[in-house]
């Protein structure tokens, strides 16, 4: 959409509510507010009560309105907000009246935040922090998103980028003044390599975080696996405290994976019920088992369930993921598991607390604290390429021409993380995932 278009959209949820907020941003925001109130603009940044009317003068609502002149606004543009009564009919009438204002158009998903980025009000990683904050389901996710919104990664990337640009300036000086006697190539090379190595090591340290940030953002995945009728679906329902999966004594009831998201001690955990592991002639069940093994390969933790009626060979996993063995239906058996596993009963609840604690401990260890800088694969890809270019520089012949090219590529990789270069397609993907009106 043209950056000169004035946008409007609801900034609060749909359905009935006490208050609904509509946001307006763009060069004609002031004109739109005057058209709706039929009065001059109110004092800046003060909520005032105004009647809202359509172009014909018919009353629409009594609302609190606020005028926010740019550039000191979220988007960097002139903005206005309408705080309406929250009925769907009122909201629809106001949106219809705004659509009738010349130069005003409904906003697409994430378009307000996109304008804030394009107008320099926030960086790209801060914009991602806004999206993560909206999507945060647990306390740990909230804290991590706030760190991104506060610019933790953006500031670090900017500092690294400045250091690489300084190195690049030194190399280009060697190229420009190679015939001058006051440029000592050997001393410059020694200083360059020392600084490049320190920078490379700093980036490598951040990359070597066990993907804690991505795990926290996406959730710690726990796959329940085992033979048919081992109690996977029953245990999933017991752990999630709701009837998320169908439970049946018929073997092979679960044909596809079922996911349930949980907040476990403030950490996001995804419990995955899967098809029972066995040799299956039914092609549909066989596909479910193939998906089970695929999810086991990708899991952060596999709960390998055994009700005591199967052999180890039947329940042996083919996954490289960490495994916690769990003996189910402990209320029906006097045997218990010690050391390598836990015994639980989904019927009586025995052992469920210990199992949840074991999962929480593994999730906390995998996710770590809330200090991870990298929270998306895009960040990791850019930093990895930057590190690789610095590695190539350190392993090269120290020719100024080659060193300069490696440093330029390293700067470009960091620029993509920060949103300075080559990110138009990525911006479309990022902001399309936002809410309308954000």
Query: Binding site annotation covers 351?
Result: no
Query: Binding site annotation covers 230?
Result: yes
* pLDDT tens digits, 162-215: 899 888 887 877 666 555 554 445 545 677 888 999 999 999 999 998 889 988
Query: Binding site annotation covers 43?
Result: no
Distances (CA, A) of 273 to 57, 223, 248, 259: 58, 6, 14, 7
Residue 424: the pLDDT is: 62
Determine contact, residues 304/327, Cβ cutoff 8 Å: no
Query: Binding site annotation covers 229?
Result: yes
Determine contact, residues 93/70, Cβ cutoff 8 Å: no
Residue 334: the pLDDT is: 54
Write out residues in the chain with pLDDT < 50, as ranges: 182-184, 187, 248, 250, 311-315, 336, 338-339
Residue 47: the pLDDT is: 96
Query: Binding site annotation covers 231?
Result: yes
Determine contact, residues 79/10, Cβ cutoff 8 Å: no
Q: Phi, psi at residue 421, to the nearest 5°?
A: -145, 150
Residue 179: the pLDDT is: 53
Q: Which domains does the chain have, with CATH numbers?
A: 6-122 (3.30.1360.120), 125-209+374-418 (1.20.120.430), 216-367 (3.40.50.300)
Instruction: Please list the residues that pair with 302 across neighbouring strands.
Output: 223, 323
* pLDDT tens digits, 401-421: 788 889 999 999 999 898 776
Residue 280: the pLDDT is: 65
Residue 84: the pLDDT is: 95
Query: Binding site annotation covers 81?
Result: yes
Query: Binding site annotation covers 137?
Result: no
Q: Give the SS3 label for residue 314.
A: helix
The number of angstroms, rounded, from the C-alpha of 397 to the middle of its chain's C-alpha atoms is: 40
Query: Binding site annotation covers 119?
Result: no
Residue 288: the pLDDT is: 75
Residue 389: the pLDDT is: 94
Query: Binding site annotation covers 254?
Result: yes
């Amino acid at each position: 959409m043209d950056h000169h278009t004035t946008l409007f959209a609801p900034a609060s949820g749909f359905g009935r509510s006490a208050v609904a907020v509509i946001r307006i941003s763009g060069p004609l925001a002031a004109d739109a507010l005057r058209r709706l109130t039929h009065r001059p603009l109110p004092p800046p940044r003060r909520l005032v009560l105004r009647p809202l009317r359509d172009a014909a003068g018919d009353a629409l609502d009594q609302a609190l309105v606020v005028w926010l002149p740019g550039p000191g606004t979220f988007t960097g543009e002139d903005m206005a907000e309408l705080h309406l009564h929250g009925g769907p009919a009122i909201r629809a009438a106001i949106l219809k009246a705004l659509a009738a204002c010349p130069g005003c158009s409904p906003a697409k998903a994430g378009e307000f935040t996109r304008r804030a980025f394009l107008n320099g009000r926030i960086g790209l990683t801060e914009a991602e922090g806004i999206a993560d904050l909206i999507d945060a389901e647990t306390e740990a996710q909230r804290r991590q998103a706030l760190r991104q919104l506060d610019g933790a990664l953006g500031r670090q990337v900017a500092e690294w980028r400045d250091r690489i640009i300084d190195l690049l300036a030194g190399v280009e000086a060697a190229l420009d003044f190679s015939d001058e006697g006051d440029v000592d190539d050997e001393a410059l090379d020694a200083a360059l390599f020392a600084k490049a190595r320190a920078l490379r090591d700093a980036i490598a340290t951040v990359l070597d975080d066990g993907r804690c940030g991505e795990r926290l953002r996406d959730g710690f995945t726990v796959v329940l696996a085992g033979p048919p009728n081992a109690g996977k679906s029953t245990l999933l329902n017991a752990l999630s405290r709701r009837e998320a999966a169908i439970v049946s004594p018929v073997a092979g009831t679960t044909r596809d994976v079922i996911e349930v998201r949980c907040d476990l001690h403030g950490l996001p955990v995804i419990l995955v019920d899967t098809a029972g592991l066995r040799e299956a002639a039914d092609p549909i069940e066989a596909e479910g088992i193939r998906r089970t093994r695929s999810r086991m390969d990708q899991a952060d933790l596999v709960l390998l369930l055994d009700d005591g009626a199967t052999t180890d060979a039947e329940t042996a996993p083919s996954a490289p993921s960490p495994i916690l063995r769990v003996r189910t239906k402990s209320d029906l058996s006097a045997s218990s598991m010690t050391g390598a596993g836990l015994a639980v009963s989904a019927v009586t609840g025995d052992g469920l607390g210990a199992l949840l604690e074991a999962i929480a401990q593994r999730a906390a260890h995998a996710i770590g604290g809330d200090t991870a800088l990298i929270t998306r694969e895009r960040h990791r890809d850019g930093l990895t390429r930057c590190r690789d270019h610095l590695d190539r520089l350190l392993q090269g012949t120290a020719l100024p021409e080659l060193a300069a090219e490696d440093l330029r590529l390293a700067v470009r990789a960091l620029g993509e993380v920060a949103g300075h270069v080559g990110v138009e397609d990525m911006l479309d993907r990022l902001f399309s995932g936002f809410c309308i009106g954000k």
